[in-house]
């Protein structure tokens, strides 16, 4: 059957209604918007390390206190994820992302005029952090709704926007600082982030209708066939309407036929009455935030995986430049290392999307393998020496980071976790749980660096969190299958003990009438 599309007018926006997931169409425009949003959100966050030394010198602060800028930003971004879900379900993804883009830009512009690290906490940490949440999460959620078979590949390729941003922004901002200083460079970044609001205007809503609802109106032949059957029962013809025979679906017009009543009621139940076809059945209310996912043990394990894995997402990108400087590598070469990591992450995301797009394949197991290999990459950093040793570790880490970072949120739409129906609420709760690690990760690494006077301790802490995340990720699939099978067994036991309710035959009325007639004849014969 051909896929039907019709536009439904809504306040301030219009939605496309599909009978199934389009796997393309306007989804390609949404994918491009997600690419740019990724570049201007996570791309800027990961490139923020180029400002670290400048902020430490300007504000005369320690490494750990400067690290709190990104920590608060990541915490606010993840902590307010349920708010982003509620606002998206209430006002739509488009308006929420546009508002988030304005907040991101405003926070970065205000930070360029900050005179203390506390003002940086408020501007970038709170204002921009809230804007990042309102921009990123609704975009990735609506992109997952536009694709089904190609979801993993399209999401992975579109998420490479942050990699290209790190690759281009890190050297560009470094060169720009040499010309106009770090304050005007940060101001330029804030103005550039206004592009998030423009991308938000491209997020056209999508509504998926089941095929049965589209086929609710039957062809006219079914109505004519119904009338012909009733005419045969009343011994009339279609042309005998003027003879005084009233042809309707009422059982009173079919004398002596007891079964005419269910025939007349059946079309009404299936929506075949032409009068009722014009009325649309009321739609169920959409929950603004569905916390029922917290009762799913597989989702709980997946959420703990995200909690601990977040420790290894941001710290390496923040500390790779200070680590390279501590090894005697110059500023320009340090920026090249960060750019090489971003390029490798691009290939990692594309490779992961290509692998996960293969069928049949258990995607949760592929994710587990990538997380284990990412843990190995984090452990390898302290053993690197010199420019090329650090470059090899960065490329390996960037590739493995791309396989995990570009797929861990879209995997919520898989049946092994929660499924596409509950992905919107699950994404909000999942990112909310990540907020604790986002808040504690970079400062914890900064405290370890200040205590040990060695940047290797920051990478060890990230590796420890990634190993714990891998352990919880390994429990997702067993929890899903084990609990489902246990629940099915309980239902089977209950059905075997109680037994199904007795079903009456369709013609039980005729059977009773027949018995009554036979008993009457027997009494007459006596």
Q: Where are the domains of the chain?
A: 16-211, 289-494
At 24 the pLDDT is 77
pLDDT at residue 410 above 90?
no
CB atoms within 10 A of CB 243: 8
16-211 and 289-494: identical CATH topology:
yes
CA neighbours within 13 Å on the CB side: how many for 193? 33
At 508 the pLDDT is 44
Cα separation of 145 and 25, whole Å?
12
At 520 the pLDDT is 53
CB 420 within 8 A of CB 145: yes
Q: Write out pLDDT tens, residues 90-109.
A: 888 889 999 999 999 999 99
Is the CATH code 3.40.50.970 the one for domain 16-211? no
Please give the angle made by the CA atoms of 111, 117 and 123, to the nearest 5 degrees.
Answer: 30
At 519 the pLDDT is 53
CB 395 within 8 A of CB 339: no
Residue among 442, 408, 458, 396 nearest 71 (CA) = 442
pLDDT at residue 405 above 70?
yes
Q: Write out pLDDT tens, residues 35-76.
A: 999 899 988 887 887 888 888 888 888 877 888 888 888 888
Is the CATH code 1.10.10.10 the one for domain 289-494? no
Structure tokens given for 394: 């960065």
Residue among 100, 192, 193 nearest 139 (CA) = 100
Dihedral, CA of residue 170, residue 176, residue 181 and residue 186, to nearest 10 = -60
pLDDT at residue 4 above 70?
no
Cα separation of 371 and 375, whole Å?
6
């Amino acid at each position: 059957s051909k896929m039907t599309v019709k536009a439904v007018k809504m306040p301030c926006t219009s939605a496309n209604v599909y009978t199934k997931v389009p796997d393309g169409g306007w989804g390609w425009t949404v994918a491009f918007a997600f690419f740019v949003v990724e570049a201007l959100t996570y791309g800027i966050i990961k490139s923020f390390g180029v400002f670290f030394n400048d902020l430490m010198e300007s504000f005369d602060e320690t490494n750990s206190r400067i690290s709190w800028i990104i920590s608060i930003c990541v915490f606010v971004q993840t902590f307010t994820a349920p708010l982003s879900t509620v606002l998206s379900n209430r006002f739509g993804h488009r308006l929420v992302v546009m508002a988030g883009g304005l907040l991101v830009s405003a926070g970065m512009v205000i930070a360029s005029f900050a005179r203390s690290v506390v003002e940086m906490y408020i501007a970038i940490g709170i204002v921009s952090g809230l804007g990042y949440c309102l921009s990123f999460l609704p975009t990735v959620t609506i992109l997952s709704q536009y694709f089904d078979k190609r979801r993993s590949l399209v999401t992975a390729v579109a998420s490479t926007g942050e990699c290209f941003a790190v690759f281009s922004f890190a050297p560009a901002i470094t060169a720009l600082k040499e010309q106009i200083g770090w304050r005007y460079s940060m101001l330029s970044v804030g103005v550039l982030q206004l592009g998030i609001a423009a991308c938000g205007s491209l997020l056209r809503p999508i509504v998926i209708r089941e095929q049965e609802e589209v086929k609710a109106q039957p062809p006219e032949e079914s109505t004519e066939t119904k009338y012909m059957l009733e005419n045969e029962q009343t011994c009339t013809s279609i042309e005998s309407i003027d003879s005084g025979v009233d042809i309707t679906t009422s059982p009173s017009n079919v004398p002596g036929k007891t079964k005419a009543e269910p025939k007349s009621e059946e079309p009404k139940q299936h929506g075949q009455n032409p009068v009722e076809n014009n009325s649309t059945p009321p739609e169920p209310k959409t929950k603004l935030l569905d916390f029922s996912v917290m009762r799913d043990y597989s989702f709980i394990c997946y959420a703990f995986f995200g909690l601990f894995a977040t420790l290894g997402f941001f710290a390496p990108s923040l500390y790779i430049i200070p680590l390279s400087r501590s090894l005697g590598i110059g500023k320009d070469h340090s920026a090249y290392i960060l750019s090489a990591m971003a390029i490798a992450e691009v290939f990692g995301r594309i490779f992961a999307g290509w692998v996960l797009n293969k069928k049949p394949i258990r995607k949760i197991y592929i994710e587990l393998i990538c997380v284990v290999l990412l843990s190995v990459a984090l452990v390898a950093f302290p053993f690197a020496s010199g420019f090329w040793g650090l470059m090899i570790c960065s490329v390996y880490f960037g590739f493995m980071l791309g396989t995990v970072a570009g797929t861990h949120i879209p995997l919520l739409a898989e049946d092994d976790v929660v499924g596409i129906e509950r992905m919107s609420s699950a994404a909000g709760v999942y990112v909310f749980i990540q907020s604790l690690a986002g808040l504690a990760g970079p400062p914890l690494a900064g405290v370890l660096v200040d205590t040990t006077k060695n940047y290797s301790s920051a990478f060890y802490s990230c590796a420890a969190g990634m190993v714990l995340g891998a352990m919880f990720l390994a429990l997702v699939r067993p929890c899903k299958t084990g609990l489902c099978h246990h629940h099915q067994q309980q239902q089977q036991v209950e059905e075997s003990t109680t037994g199904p309710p007795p079903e009456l035959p369709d013609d039980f009325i005729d059977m009773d009438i027949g018995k009554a007639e036979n008993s009457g004849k027997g009494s007459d014969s006596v």
